[in-house]
Amino acid sequence: MTDAERRAALEAIATEVRACTRCRLHGSRTNAVPGEGSPDTEVVFVGEGPGLNEDQQGRPFVGAAGSLLNELLGFVGWRREDVFIANIVKCRPPGNRDPEADEIASCEPFLRRQLEALDPAVVVTLGRHSLGAFQPGARISAAHGTARPADPASGARNGVVYAMYHPAAAFRQAALRETLFAEMANLPQVLIDARAARDARAGDAHPEPVQEGPVAETAADPAAEAGDAAISGAAIETAGAEVDVRGADAHDASQMTFF
């Protein structure tokens, strides 16, 4: 899929999301929140659902949890506009309650189609509900910090799922802030490994399988070990090697793309 085709697909999905009446959540929303970011990215963050600020602005992760997500991205040298950010439900559950199963099911085709268009190497799940959408039955307390192959039916047909706590969890339990930063420091290597595995599957009849389970710890300062990681630039730099992280049809872009 070319850059223009990806943009068109994402814009079409966003238009459908904004007009959606598939579940009860549409009745209390101010704005639907389709998602936003770079159509060229190889990393997609998937949260649980919009909150008050997101509902008012029609954008994902713009409240306190979004500020922490921006800080986490900056920690590894990335920017918000370098990745794609979405949620498993596109409208705010009243009172910020947990999304219900039928609401998640109603939104699932939108997220699946977004992932099919983006074809990411890594899907980062933020929180237990997001994790459950990709790994049914998994517990966030056991799965966080692990990378596993994505189910192709999720839309991420060539990717891995990397589980993290939701940034909001750090406001309820201060110790999780350190956990979030430690696991974010591992994400550039998760991306490199996922791309290598995908390339191997494409060019080798007997590729090495994607390693499941915990990701090896990195240094507290990821730049000290991995260099400055830039996902929407031409390459990621790690241990002196450069790995292209964008599709062949990608174009440089300095502005956030809203869908």
pLDDT of residue 23: 97
Domain ranges within the chain, ordered by starting residue: 3-243
Topology of domain 3-243, CATH: Uracil-DNA Glycosylase, subunit E (3.40.470)
Residue 7 pLDDT exceeds 50: yes
pLDDT tens for each residue of 165-204: 999 999 999 999 999 999 999 999 999 999 999 999 887 6
Q: Is the pLDDT of residue 231 over 80?
A: no
**Which of the four pLDDT bands, split at 50, 70 and 90, describes residue 124?**
very high
Q: Is the CB of residue 213 less than 8 Å from the CB of residue 146?
A: yes
Mean pLDDT of all residues in the chain?
A: 86
What's the average model confidence in pLDDT over 72-96? 97
The answer, yes or no, to whether residue 90 has pLDDT greater than 50, is yes
